Amino acid sequence: MVLPAVTGYGLGARPLEGLRVAVTRRGTVQPDRLAELLDHAGARPIEAPLTSTLPPEDPLELGRAVVSLYAFNWLVVTSAQTVTPLCEALETAGIRVDSLREDGLRVCAVGPRTGETLSKAVLEPDLIPERFCASGVVDALLELGDPRRLKVFFPRAEEGREMIPWLLREAGAEVVTATAYRTVLILGAGTRLSAQVDAGKVDALTFTAGSAARVFSDAWARRRTDAAGEAGARLMSLPTGTRVIALGPATASALESGGVRVDRIAYPHTLEGLVASLQDCYLARDT
């Protein structure tokens, strides 16, 4: 779909001048990196986190799992949120990262941002796939050789998707998962953001995780149902001109499954790629 340029927004060094953009994630550090990138591009970030992270229901699970990390040859990390609880579990267990490295453990990060977080924790990635997504991780690992030689330790969110462990196991790899954190919705956050969108106070929505995508799509569906009944809810989309940008295919799928249209998927699947895709979305012209 080709989108018209939006009148009133700058096209120079600050191409998103004045654009009101909802940031639905809560970054691992403050100020939030995505909000900073949007601000640099001239946008007006609206910080509207929909989820937060908490320790897992079983806070000792990761600690029990890391004691066997010496038996693995790959550590796979797909979220920067994983790094702090992983390092804490290693420290509690008295396991030194350098000794794991000496025993042959290698580290795969889903993308450069997660890689930076790992590097700061002295877990410099050995592998970052060309495609910064779950399928990219799987393809990169399988390209290394016989998958039956892969022994993968995969700490992740409690509600994490099964794509990576399932595909690797199907190929013959050994995969052990452990819960590092859990994602919970922020009470009322989806309702508040959907009300802002409905009132025309948001020009664009950005989503970096399926969990936030599901919170918003559920809240939007409830708002539409309350306003127009079940039949009307299926017909009423976001306000004209409101754009939706997803970080990756899985996040886009979560939005579309909930009935929310996605205008762009970031490429590459990074925060910088998300902002660039947002710019493309608003600067595109019918040629």
For the segment 16-73, what is each residue's pLDDT rounded down to a tens digit? 999 999 999 987 666 789 999 999 999 999 999 999 999 999 989 999 999 999 999 9
- Tell me, what amino acid is at 276? A
Q: Which CATH architecture has domain 61-184?
A: 3-Layer(aba) Sandwich (3.40)
User: 130: exposed, middle or buried (C-beta count within 10 Å: 0-12, 13-18, 19+)?
Assistant: exposed
Give the DSSP H/E element, type plus range, for residue 216: helix 210-235
Distance between CA 280 and CA 266 in Å, rounded? 10
- Measured over all CA atoms, what is the biggest interatomic distance in the chain, rounded to whole angstroms? 63
Distance between CA 26 and CA 49 in Å, rounded? 5
The list of the chain residues with pLDDT below 70 reads: 1-12, 28-30, 227-236, 284-287
Domain spans of the chain, in order of start: 20-50+186-283, 61-184
| pLDDT (0 to 100) of residue 263 | 95
CB neighbour list of residue 138: distance below 8 Å, 6 or more residues apart: 163, 164, 167, 168, 171
Cα 128 to Cα 22, 106, 112, 154, 199, distances in angstroms: 29, 11, 7, 15, 41
| pLDDT (0 to 100) of residue 283 | 79
61-184 shares the fold of 20-50+186-283:
yes
Q: What is the pTM of this model?
A: 0.85
CATH for the 20-50+186-283 domain, from 3.40.1110.10, 3.90.550.10, 3.40.50.10090, 3.40.50.11610: 3.40.50.10090
Locus of tokens 């936030």: 212
